[in-house]
Each structure stands twice: as C-alpha cells, then as structure tokens.
Chains A and B, each alone.
Chain A
Amino acid sequence: MKVKQISVFMENQVGRLAEMTGSLGQAGINIMALTVAESTDFGVVRMIVNDFEKARKILKEKNFTVRETEVLAIEIADQPGSLASVLKTFSENKLNVEYMYAFVGRREGAIMVFRFDDPDQALKALKGTKVKVLSNEEVLALTK
C-alpha cells in the first residue's frame, strides 16, 4: 500500500530541472506526480515515477543525489470538503503530514501523495476509516 517516492537534490540553476526530467523522458520513464521544495540555494524534487528502480539508476548515472522515501497515495473525492475531511481523519489519528502534492493522472477522484513521519503507522491508523489508500498496482494503472 506504500508507494516509493524518489527525491532528487538539485541546485537552483537554469535548465537543471529540464535536464533531469529530460534524461528520465529519454529512458521512457513517466513522471506521474512531481513537486519541488526549495530553499534559497537548492531544491529537492520529489517524484512518483512508473519505474522507480530504473529512474534511480539513470539519475545516479547522471551524478544526481537521490533518496527513496515511502509515501501514501490517497484518493480524494472530487467534491467540496473532501480534502478537509481526509485531513480531519489524519488529525483525529494524530498523523502529522510533512507535505503533500497531487498526481497528474486521476481515477474517479483526485489522487494525492501524502508524506507522513511514519508511513506504516499512518497505514495502520487509516485502516477501517473511509480514507482510500491506493495500492502500488492501482497507482501504476494511473499511468495509462
């Protein structure tokens, strides 16, 4: 039920993001979700891709520093108030969200990535709630 996110360290330089995503594109890797967190000097690009291992290999060959992080992909109904209600469930279960971002593709509802302190604990806590956590297969199915 957990999804592997790949994080890439990147200096704030013109063209660097294009270079990185370009090398993934050439290798036929599809970026399904992406967000950039930046400081004044550098950024961390976080992505969900359709082939984690291959992406990691290519980026390392290109001398990028990468890191694997486990995140949860959660489906959120496309209607007013549904994100708030998911977040309310989190807080009721004392789950702290480090950050979140959205997938490009979607099912019936929108798919969002959530990074928790402890993804296993989050999974356990969300079991039995109405929050729909996607499996790896369900996530990969979003790509086509």
Chain B
Amino acid sequence: MKDSGHIEHRIWNPRYEQISSDELAQLQLERLQATLQRVYRNVSFYKKKFNETGFEPSDLKSLDQLSRLPFTGKDVLRDNYPYGFFAVPLREVVRIHSSSGTTGKPTVVGYTKNDLETWSEVVARMMTAAGVTADDVVQIAFNYGLFTGGFGLHYGAEKIGASVIPSSAGNTKKQVMIMQDFKTTTLVCTPSYALYLAETIVEMGIDPKKLSLKWGLFGAEPWSESMRQEIESRLFIIATDNYGLSEVMGPGVSGECLMKNGQHVAEDVFLVEILDPDTLKPVPDGEWGEVVITTIHKEAFPVIRYRTGDISRIITGRCDCGRTTRRLARIRGRTDDMLIIRGVNLFPSQIEDLLMKIEGVEPHYQLIVDRVNNMDTLELLVECNESVMTDMVSELERLQKRIEKEIRELYNINAKVRLVEPRSIQRSEGKARRVIDKRNIYGSN
C-alpha cells in the first residue's frame, strides 16, 4: 500500500456516476421501455410471456411496475440454446461469449458493436473507481476465451488508456516474471489466484514490496473480507471487489471504489432488484436477498429480471467517493446449490447426471470442496455398491479414473474420485448431504 492518508477518488463518467436520482429514474424508465419494446418484438420467450399476462410494453409507465414483468431463469436461457434469446440478427453480433451450463450446454451470449462499447464503458468506470488510471500497467490474469472475465477487463482498461498486458490465466511463474519485469501496477484475476501468486512470488525469492503493484481488482468468484486483508498485506496493494455475470454482460455490473464499502452499480445499464427468493417480493434496502438484474441498455442480449441466484443487499446512504449510484454488498452466498470451483460453475445435479450414466453406479455421492494452497479442490465420494464391486482393486481404480476423466471432459474441473463404503456418506433426515464446502469463502460481512 503506497502510503495511506489521503485517497484521491477519480470518477470516469460523472454524467452517469453522479447523476441525480430524478434524472436517473427518468433515464432508467426510458431505457427500460425501449428494452421492453425490443424484447417483445424480437425474443419469442418474452413475447409469449407478455401476451400470457396481457402486458404490453407500452403499459409500463413507471419503474414501480417492474414487478409486473416476468422473471428470466438460467434454465430458460439454456432451453433456448444457442441463439434463442438474441434480440438482433446474428449479422449485427460482433462477439460471442458463453458461460458454463448446467447440463454440459453453456449459455451463449452475444454483443453488438454498441454493446461492446457499453461494456467497456462500465468496466472503465469500475476500474477507475478501483484506482486505475492511464498511467497504470494492467496485467490481466483472467482466462481469455469464452469466459467474459479476460476480454471484459481488457477493453475497459484500454478505454481508460492503461497499458494492458493480456497475460491470461495460468503459468504462474511467468506471470510473476512479467509482473516484475514489465512493472505491473495493477493485477486483475480471481482473489484465490491473487493469493496463489503472492505465495509464488515469495517462493521465487522476490520481495513483494519491491514490485510496482498498487491495485488489485478481483472478481469472478466469491471471497471474504478476511481474504481481502490477506491479499492486501501480502501483495502490498489496495484490493477491490467487482461483480458481473455473462448472462447480463460480464464484469462491470458493479465494482468497489476505494472506500471499499460496497460496489457501485452501473445503474444506467443495469436495474438491480433485491428480492426475497421465496416470495419474490422486494426486500427493504439493507436487507439480504437475491440479486435480480434487468439490462436496460443492451441490444443483442437483453434480459428482463434475470435471477442471478447470488445473495447480496443494498448498502444504504451516500458514499464518500462522490458517486451517487447505489451500492451492492459483497456477494454472501447462493440461493441454490451452485458451486463455483476455480471460476467454473457446477451444480451437484450435474455430477448426479454423470454418475447415472455410468453402468452400475448409483448416485450416492458427496462433493467435498476445499481450498488448499489457495486453489479450490474438489473431491467426489461415490459409494461402492454390489454392481460395481469386484475382487480386483485395479478394476475399482479404473472406475475412479473413468469418473474423473468424464468430469474433466464434460465440466472442465479436476476432481479426485474416491470410492467409499455404502451408507458411509453422511445423511441427515434420510437425505444425503450432497455438498460439504470447507472453503468458508463468503466469510462474514
């Protein structure tokens, strides 16, 4: 941390980041109306949904009527694989990304030229809020590919005018070499990878204080306040949290400013609601609930009331950084049983599906997630039943290897499979506990 004392808060786009609440409400309403027209005309799912409830896009007269709009779930996006939710013809789409899916099929998202402009704009705001300027050297250690993390941060950093190093994920020693030799000032990656880098730096005999690092922008997986403190004290940087998901855009939905107390939402692009996941009614500001997002400034892939499954809350009051936009607290958990393992989404049901397809294997299993040396690990316990049992150890080992291979090929996750005795998996009220997550990633807020 380069000295503390006075923190200078820079704002990338005061027009939208310091907008008055009246002006914002008017802008949001206009953009929402335009979005509804767009999806009604171009996305059959929404047309059908609106027609079913007798709702016409022009009926929407105020933002309070948002609750009349249908929800969009991950399952619907999957059912419309690959392009069913695109609101423009493919020829207008200039970029395609995707997120990991629940049945092996990913969710495919598209961007027009304007969408890419909007995306880099919101990322530029988020990065500026986190301290980055044109003088910074930004090393992006997110995977560049279908995952939105790498490209999302890349174009935002370029927009600011920073010097961008697209180092992508992996090859940790080389990352450290680049960091040292290229004089990286800003590190962009997952928080767990930041800690892994910190360890590698020390292992390589490098003094982290002598590096040029100032800022760390971390996201794509949940983390805790104590993890922030650890990263900051080991890398001597200011670490900020940011949030986004490919279904609504990618990174850039919200990000912390240097006050490190909540992530400012790009409210001219995203309408954020916090709902009780059971009643689906809004909770009062400050209370925890499911984050539901409506995109109001997207062309290729607009979504109405997308249920993220992430749990957060609105942090009330004005932020001292000068922004007027509402703040989202650090993500505290999930409404469903989705696991995020090294940035890859995994539902226990996916493992169940896979096991069911292997002859003789019964879906009596348990997933144990842990974090060892700051890397997520996944262990899969499978009960050995009579139909897979043999007197030959080598055959049982082959079965373990086969399941490991299928998980790797289908879900891109390295798991360790272990056969266990029948009925040895902990059951509560007759129901097996499917997941034991030892990471305590959400920590306490």
Contact = CB atoms under 8 A, between A and B. Distances in A.
Chain A bound to chain B: yes
Interface of A: 5, 7, 9-11, 37-39, 41-44, 46, 63-67, 69, 98, 115
Interface stretch (B8-16, B381-389, B403-411): B381-389
Nearest to B393: A37
Given A9-B384, A63-B423, A65-B384, A41 B393 contact: no
Contacts of A41: 418-419
Contacts of A11: 420-421, 424
Contacts of A38: 393
A9 B392 contact: no
Interface residues of B, number: 17
Given A9-B419, A11-B424, A41-B419, A67 B393 contact: no
Contacts of A115: 391
Contacts of A69: 391
B422 to A, nearest CB: 5
Interface of B: 384-386, 389-393, 396-397, 418-424
A67 B390 contact: yes
Contacts of A98: 392
A66 B423 CA distance: 14
11 contacts: A39-B396, A41-B419, A42-B396, A42-B418, A44-B392, A46-B391, A63-B421, A64-B422, A65-B389, A65-B421, A67-B389
Contacts of B423: 63
B421 A64 contact: yes
Given A65-B386, A67-B386, A43 B418 contact: no
Contacts of B418: 41-42
B391 A42 contact: no
Given A11-B421, A42-B396, A98-B392, 8 more contacts: A9-B384, A9-B389, A9-B421, A11-B424, A44-B391, A65-B386, A65-B389, A67-B386
Contacts of B386: 65-67
A63 B393 contact: no
B420 A42 contact: yes
Contacts of B393: 37-39, 42-44
Nearest to A46: B391
A69 B393 CA distance: 14
B398 to A, nearest CB: 11
Contacts of A9: 384, 389, 396, 419, 421
A98 B390 CA distance: 13
Most buried by B among A7, A37, A38, A67: A67
Contact of B391 (A7, A10, A39, A63): A7
B235 to A, nearest CB: 36
Contacts of B424: 11
Contact of B422 (A42, A46, A63): A63
B260 to A, nearest CB: 43
B399 to A, nearest CB: 11
Nearest to B424: A11
A13 B422 CA distance: 14
4 smallest CB-CB distances across A and B, nearest first, come from: A7-B391, A67-B389, A37-B393, A69-B391
B396 A67 contact: no
B430 to A, nearest CB: 15
A37 B423 CA distance: 22
A39 B420 CA distance: 12
A38 B419 CA distance: 12
A39 B397 contact: yes
